[in-house]
Structure formats: C-alpha cells, structure tokens
Amino acid sequence: MSDTFIKNFTNYIQSEGNIYRITQMPTKQFAMVIPDEFGPIRDSSNGRCRHCKHYNTSPAWCQSCDPWKTTQILTSGNKEIDKFIKEFQTKATEYEKAIEWIPFDRLDNWQEIKNESDQVFMANWSDGIRTIEGELGNYTQSRTILCVELMKSHCLQNDALDLIENAIREI
C-alpha cells in the first residue's frame, strides 16, 4: 500500500470515526479494517480521546479505551474484590459512573461518627472524586478532594459485594 493511501485513509478514519483501526500483515498486500462499535455514539462535543484520538462517547470518556485503562490502575490485593470492580469498570459508560478501589493510605483526617447500630467513620480521600472540567468539546478528567463515609462491615465478603452491587444498580 502506498503512503498516500495510508495517509488519506487515516485522515478519513479520524474524521468519520466509524472505523477503529486498520492493520496490515507485513507479508500481505491487503489491509484489515476493524469497525468501531462505538462510532454511532461518538460526538465531537465530548472532546477527543487522548489514547485513540477518536471523539469520546460521553464527556471525557471513550468507551473503547477508558474502561480498560481504569481497570489497570489500582488493585485491592483481593481477587474477588478486584474482579467485582473490573466487571463494573468494563460496563461503565461515563466517567462519573466508573467505580474504583480506594487504598486506605489515600484516606486521612479520620473521624468516628456516632451511630446506634454501626461503626461509621469519615475521612478525606486525598486523590478525590472524579470530575469533568472544561468547556463543550474540550473536557478534561480531574479530581476534587472528597470526604467519604466508611462503615465497618460485619458481612461476609460475598454478601458485602452483593449489597454494593445492588446499591450501585439503584443509582
């Protein structure tokens, strides 16, 4: 394939957004075009993905890239909890709807709150909650320090994960 063809085709891919990738095996004279399953929901007003350079599928969120990227960041050290978080991350369709593991060392200013039946604590999360900043088409992902509420759970791990899953579905 000629360099001109590749350049023109690359420009088409970036402007149309309906094709995710094109590849060619070194020994073959043909190219494989990989369609972008999220092409129909990409919108220029959501800005461009920093990774794949296509328009995002929602403000500051690329459905092709971000779910995978968010599952690579932190782990709890517990296989079941990590699996639970990754399942939710891969289903997230917006930046604000992704969940993540918060390591205890990222929490400070702990306070115990009096509660009749449970032990409840509050702490500041130094990394903060996900936020989107910027103007239409020029969004950026950022974080704002957040005060979080924590409860000491007496549930078994699987029961606790079921409770969390049900709570998230209701949101």
**164 in the same domain as 146:** yes
**149 in the same domain as 119:** yes
| The overall pTM is greater than 0.85 | no
**63 in the same domain as 25:** no
Q: What was the pLDDT predicted at 136?
A: 65
| Low-confidence stretches of the chain (pLDDT beneath 70) | 1-2, 5, 9-10, 12-35, 73-74, 115-118, 136-161, 163-171
Q: How far apart are CA 72 and CA 141, in angstroms?
A: 17
**62 in the same domain as 13:** no
Q: What was the pLDDT predicted at 4?
A: 78
83 token code pair: 């699996």
**22 in the same domain as 104:** no
Q: How far apart are CA 137 and CA 151, in angstroms?
A: 39
Q: What was the pLDDT predicted at 125?
A: 82
**76 in the same domain as 46:** yes
**3 in the same domain as 77:** no
Please report the beta strands in 45-171, taking only residues with DSSP state E, as ranges in sequence order. 107-113, 120-133, 140-151
**66 in the same domain as 104:** yes
pLDDT digits (tens, 9 = 90+) for 108-121: 888 877 766 667 77
Rg (CA), the chain: 21
**46 in the same domain as 32:** no
**51 in the same domain as 123:** yes
Range of the structural domain that residue 123 is part of: 42-170
